[in-house]
Amino acid sequence: MRKRALSFIGIAFSAVLLSGCVFQGEQTLEEMDAPQDETTNEAVNEDKNSEASSKSEQGQAEEEVVSETIDRQLYLLDQNGMVVPRSVPLPKTDSNEVAKQALEFLVKGGPVTEVLPNGFQAVLPAGTQINGLNLKEDGTLVVDVSKEFAEYRPEDELKILQSMTYTLTQFDNVKKVMLQINGHATEEMPVNGTPMKDGYSRANGINIHVGDVMDLTDSKSVTVYYPSQHDEHFYYVPVTKRMDVVEGEEYKAVVQSLVNGPSYDLNLLSVFNEGVELLENPEYKDGVLTLTFNEHILNNFEDQSILSQKVMDSLVLSLTEQDGVEAVDVKVENNDQVYTEQGAVLSKPVSRPDMVNTGSF
């Protein structure tokens, strides 16, 4: 597995990372025609004017086509089969059709084919039709699908559920998802029998990994984000882990999980240096979580204190999954100023982005 060597990716990749940067956060991380000859025939002038007008109209039409898209967060499968959020430009549609459209762009061989990022694929079985959606007052969205929906492998069942659930719950009024097949309610998924009676929500987790936890009843589910790589590009994968967490030390447990790195069987990257430690307990106030680390969290280039973008992104994405945490403020011992890989001073708390993995591959 690719481990800590990747945490020292050179500044040469910074421009690439910027173009595919996860987020910025609270801190900012005509030509004129030549005169016509007097002997020019009027018909020629009219033809040229008509041609110019046609090109102008064509250009305007192309601009209109480009402007008629809006970014949506789709949860797709990466090359390792993990469910990953990706920002994808979808055609604008009526406000009451956006959820249905998002689901239609999860269907293999469907409209998503033209906009799929490299290394990613859709998750719903080919031929699946979204018959309709019904949003209840409690935030439950009932999704009615065609019979083709049931044509998937048993091992893909949870991936399908997670992809649908996380894609639909990006809309504020949707809290959980229930299922119908051709108008008939179902209390379980059709292939492997995953219970659906009470619906499925983000509380059920994503890319679930139990790990070494022995007592599941006394453990807690925590979602953390680890970097992954396709070719030379990086993106972030959410993993819901069962962790033994002491009450009141949830933030510390999340940080330690990131420092320890992903389990060897997940094929994800560890980007924290050896010896990284929190010097103080995390401090929460008014939505901001302050973390104070030792100097091992830094990469040093040309005598400047550089904090890896991937380290910062992992911290912010993971910790803002905790209730109430809106931004993360990182401090480092013996350093009055900490710099990003792009040379900016990291002087303010960094907030969670509206969308994750927004870069173009």
Sequence spans of domains, the chain:
69-204, 207-351
The whole-model pTM stands at: 0.80
Dihedral angle of Cα 7, 9, 10, 14, to the nearest 10 degrees: -100
Residue 167 near residue 75, CB atoms below 8 Å = yes
Beta strands in the chain (DSSP E): 69-77, 83-91, 130-135, 140-145, 176-181, 184-185, 200-201, 220-230, 233-243, 283-285, 288-293, 299-301, 304-307, 327-332, 339-340, 350-351
Distance separating alpha carbons of residues 124 and 77, to the nearest angstrom:
10
Position 219 scores a pLDDT of 77
Taking residue 318's Cβ as centre, other Cβ atoms within 10 Å add up to 25
Position 19 scores a pLDDT of 38
Q: Is 199 left (phi over 0), alpha (psi -120 to 50) or beta?
A: left
Residues 6+ away with beta carbon under 8 Å from 179 = 142, 143, 145, 185, 186, 189, 196
Which is nearest to 245 in space by CA: 272, 273, 213? 213
The half-sphere exposure of 336 on its side-chain side, counting CA atoms within 13 A, is: 0
Burial pattern 173-186, b for ≥16 Cβ within 10 A else e, equals: ebbbbbbbbeeeee
pLDDT tens, per residue, the chain with 361 residues: 433 333 333 333 333 333 344 444 444 333 333 333 433 334 334 444 545 555 555 555 554 444 589 999 999 999 999 999 999 999 998 888 999 999 999 999 999 999 999 999 999 999 999 999 999 999 999 999 999 999 999 999 999 999 999 999 999 999 999 999 999 999 999 999 999 999 999 999 999 997 666 565 667 899 999 999 998 889 999 999 988 888 889 999 999 999 999 998 899 999 999 999 999 999 999 999 999 999 999 987 556 689 999 999 999 999 999 999 999 999 999 999 999 888 899 999 999 999 999 864 3
Q: CA triplet 87, 4, 289: central angle to 5 degrees?
A: 60
Distance separating alpha carbons of residues 325 and 152, to the nearest angstrom:
37
